[in-house]
Structure 1
Amino acid sequence: MTVMAERTSQRSQMSVEEFELIARFAATETDDAVRFEFIDGRIGVKKVTNGSHGEIAMWLAFRCKEARPDLTLNTTGQGVKVEAYRKGRVRPDGALAPVGYFNGQGDWANPDGVLMAVEITSYDSDTPSRDRVEKPRTYGEAGIPVHLLIDRDSRSVLVHSEPDLDRGYRTIHMVALGDKAVLPAPVGIELDTEDLKQYMD
């Protein structure tokens, strides 16, 4: 075994500091065409979304603001630290927190004040594993109280609650589009998902 191979095999994963350096450099070079995430020691690429994806995010931001003016759904790609057992960095499609929570936190905010992380499925090849498995587990392990997944393939909304630091979330409630979705405390919002049907392309 060569010295280089031996050193490589001794490192279990890239450090979060190395990832942040790569992500910062890429952001200046790619003009936000892609965004990077770091889950389970692996870099993932989050592509720029399409128009319907953006409309869903804005629809949800308006519903949240109507129901809870004290909260803001950040849909700008604000990064969140997820560090329960594995150091990681994610960029949810939306992060619901008290107004002003993200101010001064830089690229990667602490998850403690995030009440809900939102993901809207894309049509990427890695969506089944990333959006439906890795992200819910990661958000639950970080202690984020609610995770909302708007799944355009299955035309449903999944509400994850009761975070478990070992396995993600204890409770997952699936709602077909057109029905009411209850986002439990500390979010405390009921969504009528009928309007989402128009964005499911």
Structure 2
Amino acid sequence: MTPNTADRPLILVEDFEELARVAPETVRLELISGKIEVKPVPDGNHGQIFMWLLKRCMQQRPELSLFPEQGLKVEAYRKGRARPDGALALDEYFLGQGEWANPDGVLMTVEITSNDPDTDRRDRHEKRDGYAAAEIPVYLLVDREACKLVVYSEPDCGKYCKRVSWRFGDVVELPAPVGITLRTEKLKDYAD
């Protein structure tokens, strides 16, 4: 019988952190739902979407930074460790926190879907639930396959209470505490 990872992770957090620390630079590891996950290396369109979003955040909220690949402790969700594509927080929030930071000051996490078979389970379900359990106020999913943005907000009891989606090309208002408006017409050029 296979152990239930919901109750008992397959690896201890301390052992995972050591493994992630010594992994080659070409491999990015996460601990999601009690299992080790290898995060895909982003392609060019993925990187372009991230840069597009980074610029919008900087223009509208210069006191904030969109940190790429910052490791977060998503403790409430099965002692997880996640590396969102982006973590929006006050400038210098992560100073001195090391590889796996406390998510308390994170206003929004961002995931941009990849062209791999695990993106549905990982980005649309497990990581969303981990960020909600960590009470990160906003989770922005840029879904390249569906050509839409999905905004999750109002975390409560480990789930996001609000979910709104827009097509690429729509004007998207990210809710408080983010307060950024995205004019997404350009994302149509980056869809694949």
- TM-score tier by shorter-chain length is over 0.9
Give the length in aligned residue pairs. 188
Q: Which has the larger radius of gyration?
A: 1
Q: Compute the displacement of 1:165 (Å).
A: 2.8
Match of 1:117 among 92, 103, 109: 109
- The one-letter code sitting in structure 2 at the alignment partner of 1:42 is K
User: Which residue in 1 is equivalent to 2:166?
Assistant: 175
- Partners of 2:15 and 2:180 lie apart in 1 by 38
**5+ residue gaps, structure 2:** none
Structure 1 contact 84–165 (Cα < 8 Å) conserved: no
Q: Compute the displacement of 1:188 (Å).
A: 0.6
| Match runs of 1:122-161 below 5 Å | 122-161=114-153
User: Which residue in 1 is equivalent to 2:180?
Assistant: 189
User: Which residue in 1 is equivalent to 2:46?
Assistant: 53
**5+ residue gaps, structure 1:** none
Scaled by the length of structure 1, the TM-score of the pair is: 0.90
Scaled by the length of structure 2, the TM-score of the pair is: 0.94
- Partners of 2:8 and 2:163 lie apart in 1 by 32
Q: Secondary structure at the match of 1:81?
A: strand
Name the structure with the higher helix share: 1
Moved over 2 A (4+): none
User: Which residue in 2 is equivalent to 1:37?
Assistant: 30
Q: Percent identity?
A: 56
- The one-letter code sitting in structure 1 at the alignment partner of 2:185 is E
Residues 138-174 of structure 1: CA deviation (Å, up to 9, x unaligned): 10010000000000000000000001233x2011100
- The one-letter code sitting in structure 2 at the alignment partner of 1:180 is V
Supply the RMSD in Å over aligned alpha carbons: 1.6
